[in-house]
Every structure is written in structure tokens, then in C-alpha cells.
Amino acid sequence: MLDAGLHLLADQNLASLGVREVTREAGLSPAAFYRHFPDLAALGVALVEESLASLHVMIRAVLAEAGDAEELIDRAVDVIERHVREHRGHVRFLARERHGGVRQVREAIDAELGRFAAEVGAALALQPVSRGWSEQDLRMLAELYVDHMVSTAAAFLEALETDPARGRRIAVTARLQLRLISLGREHWQAG
Amino acid sequence: MLDAGLHLLADQNLASLGVREVTREAGLSPAAFYRHFPDLAALGVALVEESLASLHVMIRAVLAEAGDAEELIDRAVDVIERHVREHRGHVRFLARERHGGVRQVREAIDAELGRFAAEVGAALALQPVSRGWSEQDLRMLAELYVDHMVSTAAAFLEALETDPARGRRIAVTARLQLRLISLGREHWQAG
DNA sequence: AAGTTCAGCAAACGAATGTTTACTGAATGG
DNA sequence: CCATTCAGTAAACATTCGTTTGCTGAACTT
């Protein structure tokens, strides 16, 4: 039933989804829905958890890698691109509902994204480049990275669904932007 | 009628909006809707134009200012914050429908955002810091700025609607991030 | 083996929906 | 001053919707 919902949300958003629509797609009777969820919002929250779980393993994969800055950037962008391709539905759902019409879902996404930022910040603190950085500075950098990742993923998705050839340009742009941010890090409080 | 739609879209998204709902809010009969728009998607596109017009004057205001990097950053963040406060509905609409369920609207927003990036890029080219930058580098920087502006605006909005006191922290974070990007610019191809 | 939970069904309810049709004044322009 | 456009109306159409109710069979527990 989650799969049915996700499939329908490819061309719709959660607020416009219907109970009957979901059950029809899942091949069940309308009443069957209420055996599993009280609301459609509840189904949305369940989808958030599913989607963010896959995203979480992706982030950990990026953070776990080692190498110089240039290598890290290349791998990060590759991982994002691959993740979008392999979990297209999840990514689309997150992008669509992050600012969507259902408060519960919005808050669930934002809370989890905040936790991701905290995790990224902790990882950044371990890198030698971050010596002497305040807690606040680390946090703002982590948020910048997370926001950039989200933007990039959304751009990959849009490219995938309209003109797949444009994915290349997005990857190039994302790498350049990360390089620029990397440069800013190196000269922070030193320029 | 546009106002009625925008008002309803505060707690909903375009795909779940109904013709009758809009006309009811506007105090008109259902049939009156079709005198002005063929679709709800058409109403959405009209709202996109309205929303982006106000955003456009904001961007031009930021670009027209002069001063050192620090002053520019402070004013840019202030202008964004004020714009969100004064055009809350428009900003919410753009954030919500940028990845929403109506293709026409999505494409209209992305196209216009692309034009903004081009404009920002042209303005960046005039700054002394950008001497020797390639066209591609300017474009990626402009897109980074636009994306950052969008993220910041969305964050301001969410703060405004939940915990207004958090707006402060968002402003501080945004300024720090812009300073870091600024540092990256100064050392581009020179580090 | 008996009882209980579980996941499903069909049917029914009123309510709301999108859209079309024919009609009505008011403004506008030649 | 007459014709035409314009923005609006009420009424009606078949559809679709969310949700509740009572029922059924399978699976699990003890």
C-alpha cells in the first residue's frame, strides 16, 4: 500500500491524494485502507520514514569515505546522482512534500533533515580543516552542505524526468560549487 | 480571484485545489471561474507570474546596491527577510509549487528562476572580484546564490509560521554562509 | 480444538466535485 | 441608440469521494 501511494505521488501531491485512489491502485477495497492508517497524513508520515531511511544510508556512505577534498567532492556528487536514479520515487516525494500542504509531513522531513545536518557537522568537526571552528560555524557549514545536497538532488530529479542529458551539466555545476565552498572553508577566519 | 486562490493555498497545494472552492472563497458562482481561466493550472501559472514579479524587484534591489562584501551580505539577507514577511503568500506558493504536482507551474517557476540566475550572473561579472572568471564559473556561482536565496527564504517562511523567534538564527546562519561563499570567490583559481 | 486477532470484502450514506447550458444585466463602442 | 462583449448567475448532470457498518475467512495462540 505504501508502494501504491508512492507510485501515485509521482504525478500528484499528498494533499490531493484520495483514499479510494490508493486502495484502487493497490487492488484493495476502500475500507481496507483504514485497517492500516487512520489518515492519509499518517500514510505520508510513513512514507517520510521510508524515504529518509534510504537517504540516511546515502549520507553515511558519503561521510564514511576518505581522500582529499577533490576526491570527496567527486564521490559525493556521484553518490547523490546514483541515489536519485535508484530511489527516484523517494526523492521526488521528499522534494515535493518538504514544503507541501501537510504540516505533519513537513515537520517530519525538516526534523530529520536537521538531524542529518547535526550528523554532517559532527563529521566535519573531525576533519583537520575544521581546527578552531566554533560550534556555530560548523553547524552553518553543515546546513549549507545539506541544503546544497537537497538542491542538487532535486535538480538531478527534474533533469531525469525531462531531459536526461542535462544531468551531466548539473553534476559539473554541483562539483564546481562544492569546490568553491571548499575554498571558503580553507580560508575561514584566515583571510 | 487570484487573491482567493492564494489565500486558500496557504494550507493546501495547487493540485488539491478545487474550482468550487476558489469561487466560494471569492464569493462567486462556480461557473464564473471559467470566464477567467480554462484550468486550475492556468490559475497557477498566473499566480507564478504574480509571485515572481514581486521577487524580481527584490532581486534587482539587491543587485543594484553597492558597498563592500560585508555590507552587501547584510543588506541582501535583510531584503530577503523583509520580502518574505511582506509577500508571505507568494513565497509560500513558490516554495510549495516549485516541486509540486503541476508540471506547467513547475516549469514556469524553474524557467523564471533560471532567468534570475542569468541576471545575477551578469551582475556578478561586473564586480572586480570576478576578473578572469569563465562564463561557466559565473553561471555556477549565480546558481549557487539563487539556490541559497531560495533556501533561506523558505527557512524564513517556515520560521515565521511556527516560531518567529527563530528568524534571528536563520539570518545569522545565512550571513555566515554568504561570507563563506564570498571567501571562496576571492580565492577562486588563486589558491 | 476453541477462541481471538487480523486483513480483507461489499454495500450504502450523504456530501462534494467539475463542467455545461441557457439566461441576465451592465458596460462599451461605433 | 443599438449591438456586442463581458462578467456574472442558477440549475442540472453524472461522478467521485470519505467513512461506517456488518460480515467473512484465514492465521495465530493457548
Among A120, A135, A183, most B C-beta atoms within 10 A, so best to mutate, is A183
Residue B32: CB less than 7 A from any atom in strand D: yes
User: What is the reported pLDDT for A190?
Assistant: 61
- Chain A contacts of B96, Cβ < 8 Å? 99-101
User: Which nucleotide is at minimal CA–C1' distance from A38?
Assistant: D19
Instruction: Return phi, psi of residue B37, to 5°.
Output: -135, 145
User: What is the reported pLDDT for B65?
Assistant: 86
Contact between B184 and A184 using a beta-carbon 8 Å cutoff: yes
User: What is the reported pLDDT for B190?
Assistant: 61
Residue with cell 513565497: B91
Q: A161 by DSSP, 3-state: which?
A: helix
Q: Which nucleotides of D are covered by protein (CB under 7 A)?
A: 6-12, 16-22
CB pairs < 8 Å spanning A and B: 112
Q: Does B21 touch chain A (CB under 8 A)?
A: no
Cβ count within 10 A of residue A110: 15
Contact between B16 and A184 using a beta-carbon 8 Å cutoff: no
In this complex, the residue of A15, A98, A188 whose CB is nearest that of residue B180 is A188
Q: Does A186 touch chain B (CB under 8 A)?
A: yes
Alpha carbon B185 to chain centroid distance? Answer: 23
pLDDT in tens, chain B (191 residues): 999 999 999 999 999 999 999 999 999 999 999 999 999 999 999 999 999 998 999 889 889 888 899 999 999 999 999 999 999 999 999 999 999 999 999 999 999 999 999 999 999 999 999 999 999 999 999 999 999 999 999 999 999 999 999 999 999 999 999 999 999 999 998 64
Contact A17, A5 (CB under 8 A): yes
Q: What share of chain A is helix, strand, coil (3-state, %, to 5)?
A: 80, 0, 20
User: What is the reported pLDDT for A65?
Assistant: 86
Cα B62–Cα B45–Cα A147 angle in degrees, nearest 5: 50
User: Which candidate, B188, B180, B43, places its Cα nearest to that of B129?
Assistant: B188
- Chain B contacts of A11, Cβ < 8 Å? 101
Cell of A157: 530529479
Cα B37–Cα A99–Cα A37 angle in degrees, nearest 5: 100
Q: A9 by DSSP, 3-state: which?
A: coil
| Alpha-carbon separation of residue B102 from B28, B48, B99, B130, B140 (angstroms) | 25, 12, 8, 38, 27
Cell of A190: 584566515
Q: Does A139 touch chain B (CB under 8 A)?
A: yes
Contact between A13 and B11 using a beta-carbon 8 Å cutoff: no
Contact between B101 and A11 using a beta-carbon 8 Å cutoff: yes
User: Which candidate, A6, A185, A176, places its Cα nearest to that of A94?
Assistant: A6
Q: Report the C-alpha dihedral over residues A187, A155, B118, B160, rounded to 10 degrees.
A: -80
User: What is the reported pLDDT for B171?
Assistant: 98
Q: Does B137 touch chain A (CB under 8 A)?
A: yes
pLDDT in tens, chain A (191 residues): 999 999 999 999 999 999 999 999 999 999 999 999 999 999 999 999 999 998 999 889 889 888 899 999 999 999 999 999 999 999 999 999 999 999 999 999 999 999 999 999 999 999 999 999 999 999 999 999 999 999 999 999 999 999 999 999 999 999 999 999 999 999 998 64
Q: What is the DSSP letter of B67?
A: S
User: Which nucleotide is at minimal CA–C1' distance from B20?
Assistant: C17
Separation in Å, CA of B172 to nearest CA in chain A: 9
- The pTM of the full predicted model, rounded to 2 decimals, is 0.93
In this complex, the residue of B16, B150, B151 whose CB is nearest that of residue A16 is B16
Residue B30: CB less than 7 A from any atom in strand D: yes
Task: Report the C-alpha gap between B113 and B101 in whole angstroms.
Answer: 18
Instruction: Name the residue of chain A whose CA is nearest to B96's CA.
Output: A99
